Structure 1
Amino acid sequence: MTIQNDHPLGAVPKTERKGFWSIASVLAGFTFFTSTMWAGGSLGVAFSFSELLLIIFIGNLLLGAYASGLAYVAYQTGLNTVLLGRYSFGSQGSKLSDFILGFTQIGWYAWGTATIAIILTKLLNLPDAWQIPLMIVFGFGFCISAAIGYKAIALLSKISVPLMLIFIAISFIKGFADVGGLSELASIAPVESMTFAVAITTVFGTFVSGGTQATNWSRFSNSGKTAVIATLAAFFIGNGLMVFVGAFGALVYQQADIVDILVAQGFILIAVLMLFTNIWTTQDNTIYNFAAAGCNLLNTDKRKLITVVGAAIGTLLAIFGMYNMLIPFLVLLGTFIPPIGAIIMTDFWFRFRADADLLASTEPVKFNYAGLAAYVVGSACAYYSPWVAPIVGIVVSSAVYCALVVVLGMSDKDSKTA
């Protein structure tokens, strides 16, 4: 398969745009991820079944709306998040968001690499000494489809997503039978505690970094409708399903991961297939996102090289223990990532009046101080807020950015001097 460059430093041309099923399959494969189930497991033991459903609904609706808003901007401009960041943070100032987004994606890649190695050794009863060699094999193996580009990732997702849905359906049917039906499931009492705000932040944080960078795929959309609906389906329905699977497994089997659940149900072969399809379809998206951020940070179009370098860094992090840091990592993501996407959307709608042609003809300034200041204020408010951190970060950063653009007298004309 021919390696595609996928326009790491420019807009996707109209001639290379894709339809709904292509975009939806890639994004669904991205959101079908083990770590989301683990987060769901932490919720499943802390809330009643009815409370759990409400948290999953609200958290994923917020996440889906956020990601869909960015998806529409990406479709209109043909640009991904890191390239849009040049306008909202400046050509040099955007390197801050590049670093933050790149770091979060490499953290996910490390977690996924460690996860498959650790689970596989347990499933096959291999010595623990096999874990590091397997991390190296999978760390570099999973980046192959990402290095090839969109076509390889789309092909993998079109095969893997239907298979995963079938595997999950089999597990649900067996699980409901084992627990004794919906009434028995609803009667299970929580054994741990978690605040509503932390729960929503955890759900939002499960894929807010991915949602912020899902523009790498939504910018390939052939219409605004395709971009918005495909993204909403992946992040509201797809991510919500993963959270529910984890919570369901924790309630019924005291296991959050679908692979462990399938093993407990006696489906060993399906568990192994689920492990590979689940991890790989997210890992290639994740390292692709890292490469996109890295290309903008270093101002290079050598996407394949950046992909391999990112895989090496992620593999090292996996070896040094990223596996044990999931929940704190999710809370940090839910706090510090949403203001980036919020400012990018606000910049497009407020400063450029949703005019993609105007944005394309505008040369970014080196430092957009309004965007940088709004990010600092929004992130600080989210971090110290006792309420739902992602919502606080989004609302505050957007409001501060609008105010600063007016106060500083910034307009599209002012942006034309680099």
Structure 2
Amino acid sequence: MGDTPAAEASTSSEFEHEPVPQSHRKSLFTVSAVWFGFPMILTNAVPGGLVVAMLGFWQGVAAILVANAIMFVYVSLLSWRAGRTGKSFSLQAIETFGTAGYIIASGFLSTVVVGWFAFNTGATGASLGEAFSWNETLVAALAGLLFIAITYLGIRALSVLGAIAAPLFIVAVIIAIAIASQQHGFEAVTSYTGVGGGAMSFGVAVTAIMATFADSGTMTADFTRWAKTGKQAVIATFTAFPVASLVAQLSGGLLVAAGAIASPEINGGNFAPILTGTGNPLLNVFLLLFVVINLGSVCTHCLYNGALGWSHITRSRMRIVTLVLGVVGVIIAVLGAWHYFVNWLALLGVLVPPLGAVLIADQIILARRNANRGERRFRPTAFAAWAIGACAALVSHFFAPALSDAVVGLVVGCIAYLALEQFVPRREETPVLL
């Protein structure tokens, strides 16, 4: 590595169009830092606090645990495949959806995660604007440019940011609990019954937890393709789901159950206002760093997912696409449009698990059967199963709220693909060339 100009150039490559070779794989610590620092964020504490507020402490915690267990299995299977092959999400999608069909699957998810980049960039401006009475638009613009610059540096920068963001979150939670304990007793946390009054079912709560990371969780290969083995990719995933995710969500739930967050049915587990209530200048500096680094972690990860996907679709370089998509996301953020599409993004999140289920069914469950399968431009069974799973999720969402539509879509999508593939004759096709 590094003896020739070609080798030197490849060290800065993000391998947008080919699997990551073993010579360029990262250490377990590096890959784990990328995933570990992603879910342990303030915006992941929000749904944790919300489900506790709506269901009460024990039911809320149960929903969080169930959702994280499902996410671990779901994301780990996709990560295991990525660690074994070195393939990104787009390269995985080519195998299952076809050399042309993958554009629909990859383009869909790559666009959704850019929406989340815009949302969290706008949230950074709103959080700091509210805390310090700063110009929300200007702060969002400056923060967005910083997030673009970090993403531009690639996977190594994401691992460094994640390694900083996660410990910082833990410190912030400890400080918030210490401040809250001065006015609220934590001894009655476990007896908290919530304020929902039955407005949220257990299934909806599970979906709310899963939807937060369903998009990037499905695109986990973009991160875990850097692992040396499938086993290391699974270990890295475990640091995110359940470990980091549980820390964030249970922290939000704990502070809600203690009565430390106003209007938790709206604000969920957002504990940032607790940190601003003291007027302590040192705490204000800490809050500034915490919000920028913490929300910067989710923004950079989402932008990386989006840029990697669209760079492969457009046959461009990840860093160039990062600049283009980043500017688009920042414009959306500063215009305030991010306020209007959070529910839309969450609904799209319901449509994502069936897509991941099709990948799992095709590349893991049917791996041996498909070992010598050649390429096709479109694979109709993959799209049909995705559509069936998505329809089942939407039906569940609107007509069976007691169920988790994310889980329904995942299970139905997987079963539909396995069933449809039984009726497809094996045919000789041209070998896949990537």
Q: TM-score, normalised by structure 2?
A: 0.87
Distance across 2 between alignment mates of 1:354 and 1:36: 39
Answer yes or no: is the 8 Å Cα contact 1:24–1:231 preserved in 2.
yes
Distance across 2 between alignment mates of 1:123 and 1:320: 18
- Tell me how far 1:327 sits from its aligned partner: 4.6
Q: Pick from 122, 132, 153: which aligns with 1:124?
A: 132
Instruction: Give per-residue Cα distances to partners, 1:21-63, cap 9 Å, x unaligned.
Output: 1111111112123322222232232111111110110011111
Q: Pick from 288, 293, 302: which aligns with 1:272?
A: 288
- Secondary structure of residue in 1 paired with 2:55: coil
1:305 pairs with 2:320: yes
When you count helix as a share of all residues, which structure comes out higher? 1
Answer yes or no: is the 8 Å Cα contact 2:41–2:169 preserved in 1.
no
**Structure 1 unpaired stretches of 5+:** none
- Tell me how far 1:82 sits from its aligned partner: 1.7
Distance across 1 between alignment mates of 2:432 and 2:224: 29
Kindly report structure 1 stretches of 4+ aligned residues shifted beyond 6 Å: none
Instruction: Give per-residue Cα distances to partners, 1:357-382, cap 9 Å, x unaligned.
Output: x57xx653100111011111110011
1:210 pairs with 2:216: yes
Counterpart AA for 1:185: V
Q: Pick from 293, 305, 321: which aligns with 1:289?
A: 305
Instruction: Give per-residue Cα distances to partners, 1:110-164, cap 9 Å, x unaligned.
Output: 11110111111122222xxx22232222222201121111122222222332222
Indicate the larger mover: 262-271 or 159-168. Answer: 262-271
- Secondary structure of residue in 1 paired with 2:357: helix
| Root mean square deviation, CA, Å | 2.2
Answer yes or no: is the 8 Å Cα contact 1:198–1:388 preserved in 2.
yes
Q: How does 1:70-219 map to 2 (within 5 A)?
A: 70-126=78-134, 130-176=135-181, 178-182=183-187, 184-192=188-196, 193-219=199-225
1:341/1:350 CA distance change after superposition, 3 Å: same
1:242 match: 248
1:415/1:179 CA distance change after superposition, 3 Å: farther
Distance across 1 between alignment mates of 2:222 and 2:301: 9
Distance across 1 between alignment mates of 2:46 and 2:59: 18
1:372 pairs with 2:380: no
- Tell me how far 1:244 sits from its aligned partner: 2.0
Distance across 2 between alignment mates of 1:100 and 1:34: 26
2:3 match: none
Instruction: Give per-residue Cα distances to partners, 1:158-215, cap 9 Å, x unaligned.
Output: 2332222222233334445643223x12233322221111111100101111111121
Answer yes or no: is the 8 Å Cα contact 2:37–2:164 preserved in 1.
no
1:46 match: 54
1:10/1:268 CA distance change after superposition, 3 Å: same
1:181/1:376 CA distance change after superposition, 3 Å: same
1:332 match: 348
Distance across 2 between alignment mates of 1:204 and 1:177: 33
Answer yes or no: is the 8 Å Cα contact 1:287–1:307 preserved in 2.
yes
Give the % identical residues. Answer: 23
Answer yes or no: is the 8 Å Cα contact 2:55–2:202 preserved in 1.
no
Indicate the larger mover: 134-143 or 166-175. Answer: 166-175
Counterpart AA for 2:73: A
Instruction: Give per-residue Cα distances to partners, 1:323-344, cap 9 Å, x unaligned.
Output: 35435532430x1011111111
Distance across 2 between alignment mates of 1:293 and 1:354: 28
Instruction: Give per-residue Cα distances to partners, 1:213-265, cap 9 Å, x unaligned.
Output: 12111111112221112102212121122222233333422252232232246
- Secondary structure of residue in 2 paired with 1:45: helix
Indicate the larger mover: 103-112 or 231-240. Answer: 231-240
Answer yes or no: is the 8 Å Cα contact 1:363–1:417 preserved in 2.
yes
Aligned length: 406
Counterpart AA for 1:134: V
Counterpart AA for 1:339: P
2:239 match: 233
